[in-house]
Structure 1
Amino acid sequence: MLAGEIILTVANVRSSDGYLLAALHDCEETFPNEGDALMYAKVKAVAGKTRLRFSVDAPGSYAVSLFHDENDNGVLDTNLIGIPVEGYGFTNNARGTFGPPDFWDAIVRVDGGVVAQSIELTY
């Protein structure tokens, strides 16, 4: 049974190169680690805005982390000191101080129906 959908409009997509890779998390212990996500989405990047969606089976609190994999290597590329050189973002446009935001800053509540979120990529 479908509990709802999270529809993301990702803004500030720099180019149509590569893909947007998104991970849906349902607990703070896994967020934002890619390998531990509940679900994944991969959509072709569209310069300007790109849309993607997650369908969830259970009501609850969820957070999405995503990045623009411009060179299609499956990795968020960083510079020599670890700062991302590809665009990234989180639900609620949550930001961390030195690293990713806290799970609780990025959660959206799904109780049925559609939850729409706009995420602005940071490059």
Structure 2
Amino acid sequence: MKIVSLVLVATASTLLGLTSLPARADNGAGLSSVTVVVSELVSTRAVVKLYFYNVRDKFLQHGGYAFMRVVKPGGQNQIQLPIDLPHGEWAVAITQDMNNNDKLDKNFLGIPTEPYAFSNNIRPTISAPDFNQCKFMVNGTGKVVSIVLKK
């Protein structure tokens, strides 16, 4: 059921637009620089969408992400996204739009047919993971979150 939610989140991203966080970390205000590294991209041209969550009950829910970013790989098989996040627990869900149709394609069961991944490299088997499985703590500058895209 949560995989279907991931599909809805990906589709909703095009309708809801982007919200943003401050451009620079202000460690006095509880922000820290984090770099999200996504490796083993299936395509070096298809955009990668990163959905950032910081509310446990909204993880993978329709419109539940705090913000999202779209990154073009620029011919590389890995992307690096430096971002400033407020201190606390965060989780990331990632999709790669292989056919650039601005949605996460799925099969008749609602399972994504395009590459996807979650922070902590959680690999769901029957249903999408929950927030606790994917969360990481942001509490200091210099954190690197490495994620391998699921093919």
Larger radius of gyration: 2
Instruction: Give 1:47 deviation, angstroms.
Output: 4.4
- Alpha-carbon distance in 1 for matches of 2:141, 2:113: 35
Q: Corresponding residue for 1:11?
A: 39
Q: Secondary structure at the match of 1:63?
A: strand
Aligned AA for 2:108?
A: L
- Alpha-carbon distance in 2 for matches of 1:103, 1:115: 19
- Alpha-carbon distance in 2 for matches of 1:61, 1:81: 31
- Alpha-carbon distance in 2 for matches of 1:41, 1:32: 15
- Alpha-carbon distance in 2 for matches of 1:108, 1:79: 30
Q: Corresponding residue for 1:73?
A: 101
Aligned length: 122
Q: Corresponding residue for 1:117?
A: 145
Runs (4+) of structure 1 moved beyond 6 Å?
none
User: Normalization by structure 1: what TM-score?
Assistant: 0.88
For the 8 Å contact 1:5–1:113, the answer to whether it is kept is yes
Aligned AA for 1:50?
A: I
- Alpha-carbon distance in 1 for matches of 2:46, 2:62: 18
Unaligned stretches of 5+ residues in structure 1: none
Distance 1:34 1:54, change over 3 A: farther
- Alpha-carbon distance in 2 for matches of 1:120, 1:34: 24
Q: Secondary structure at the match of 2:132?
A: helix
Unaligned stretches of 5+ residues in structure 2: 1-25
The Cα RMSD (Å) is 1.7
Matches within 5 A, 1:55-70: 55-56=84-85, 58-70=86-98
Q: Deviations over 1:64-109 (max 9, x none)?
A: 0010012222221112222211110111002333221110111110
Instruction: Give 1:33 deviation, angstroms.
Output: 3.1
Percent of aligned pairs sharing the same letter? 28
User: Is 1:54 aligned with 2:83?
Assistant: yes
User: Normalization by structure 2: what TM-score?
Assistant: 0.73
User: Is 1:82 aligned with 2:110?
Assistant: yes
Structure number with the higher helix fraction is 2
Aligned AA for 1:87?
A: P
Instruction: Give 1:116 deviation, angstroms.
Output: 0.4
